[in-house]
A = this chain, B = another copy of it.
Amino acid sequence: MKNRLKVLRAERDWTQADLAEAVDVSRQTINAIEKDKFDPSLPLAFKFARLFNLPIEEMFFDEDDR
């Protein structure tokens, strides 16, 4: 599972810590997701979607889908 978090963050000039606070997880969790260490839970994916006002499918990409 790939994602666009780093870019979306950059567009807003947010740090990993800023984003972590915004969706209420630890900074390490954001780092791990950006580095593809693991996938976010579905509830967390919804939080990102709401925060960035984007559909989940436009921020997270299932490898199998292509």
Contacts and interface: CB of A to CB of B under 8 A. Distances in A.
Contact of A42 (B42, B50, B55, B65): B42
Nearest to A58: B55
Interface string A36-64: 00011111011001100001110010101
A7 interface: no
A50 B45 CA distance: 17
Contacts of A43: 1, 39, 62
Nearest to A50: B65
A38 to B, nearest CB: 10
A49 B46 CA distance: 15
Given A40-B42, A50-B65, 4 more contacts: A1-B43, A39-B42, A39-B43, A55-B57
